[in-house]
Amino acid sequence: MDYSERLAAIRDWMEEHAVDLVILLDRANARYLTGFRLNSTATSLLVVDGDGEPTYIVAQLDLERARRDCWIENVIPFPEDPPDYLAALAPLFRAGIRRVGVERDRLSLAQAERLSRLAGAPLEYVDVHEFMAELRVVKSEQELDMIRTAASIADRVMEEITHEVRPGVAEQELAGLAEYLLRHEGAEGPSFEPFFMSGENAWLPQRVASGKVLASGELALLDMGAVYGGYCSDLTRTFAVGEVSEQQRRIFRAAREAQAAAIEAIRPGVVASAVDQAAREVIGAAGLGRYFPHITGHGVGVSIHEAPILDRGVDLPLRPGMVVTVEPGVYVPGLGAARVEDMVVVTQTGCEVLTNAPRDLV
């Protein structure tokens, strides 16, 4: 990855907004700019100074590995017991630093007050969240290679799980198997907690796997994804457990046809809300519009949910290199739920579907 190019873009933003220092707390932003993989419970800080080299602050236990594996030369530790990563910032507050870029959704009031004390004067905070989202929204060919691999891992796991869906198996058994298989197939781990939901748990929807045992005559969903090279995939398929009714099959057809219509609508220049509308028109025409309660899709990259969002009122034009999920769903109380989710990359002329596990109701 061309990390130096990404860093240069941040410095251009800093100059444009008269920002002296950028402090990034978001794990995904740190991975995007360093390429360094942390344990899911670990914390790090990336500091970009307009006048000097970036500084990466990691826990003492991660220090030597970061110095070996991370392209950033200035890597310093913070003590882990008790964790006090903000203290490591004190030497970086050179004289004259007043405007600091931070992610608005990551910095607490207590942290903001602590930073001002470390700087020795009140700081003015400038939100860098929107800029980072825009920087990450269009994927390079290298990023797409990682995403394609993550997608293919999810495809293989989904196909393996298909053979295990039957009456008498617990939801959490299947979710646990999915998580095991993701790692077995080469993923760093799941891109989020996999969940298998069936029957009533599906149409609620519950969005966690439970000890509930699958019963014949139910619709069931598995939603999961892989992380490969720091990049996520996201995939959902719907299963028929034993024999299901024609009404339940109608729910599935509506969801599947809505997804196909939304994918057909994806091309450069089309606004995100138009893709969402394409899906809603199909489900509405089936008389099921009130049972489609969520967005049609979301961006995927180093985060499992990022820009762009495919939803009503989102008038962001799609651009080549954007990667989104397409996942309209139908959830009918007392009857069942269905959702088919795939990942799509916007191309110069239309789109390419990245996930390819069988989509039919099994």
**Structure-token pair, residue 227:** 């992380």
Inter-axis angle of helices 27-34 and 129-137, nearest 10: 50
Confidence of residue 212 (pLDDT cuts 50, 70, 90): very high
Note the pLDDT tens digit of each residue in 74-108: 999 998 777 788 989 999 998 889 999 999 999 99
Question: For residue 120, is it left (φ>0), alpha (ψ between -120 and 50) or beta?
Answer: left
Could you give the domains of the chain?
Answer: 3-136 (3.40.350.10), 138-353 (3.90.230.10)
Per-residue pLDDT at 166 exceeds 80: yes
Average pLDDT over residues 305-332: 98
Average pLDDT over residues 304-322: 97
Note the pLDDT tens digit of each residue in 231-279: 999 999 999 999 999 999 999 999 999 999 999 999 999 999 999 999 9
Q: How far is CA 165 from the centre of its chain?
A: 26
Per-residue pLDDT at 26 exceeds 80: yes
Number of neighbours of residue 207 by Cβ within 10 angstroms:
12
Enter the pTM of the model: 0.95
Model pLDDT, residue 94: 85
Cβ atoms of 275 and 262 within 8 Å: the answer is yes
Confidence of residue 27 (pLDDT cuts 50, 70, 90): very high
Rounded distance between C-alpha atoms, residue 180 and residue 94, angstroms: 48
Residue 249 one-letter amino acid: R
Per-residue pLDDT at 29 exceeds 80: yes
Percent of the chain with pLDDT strictly greater than 90:
91
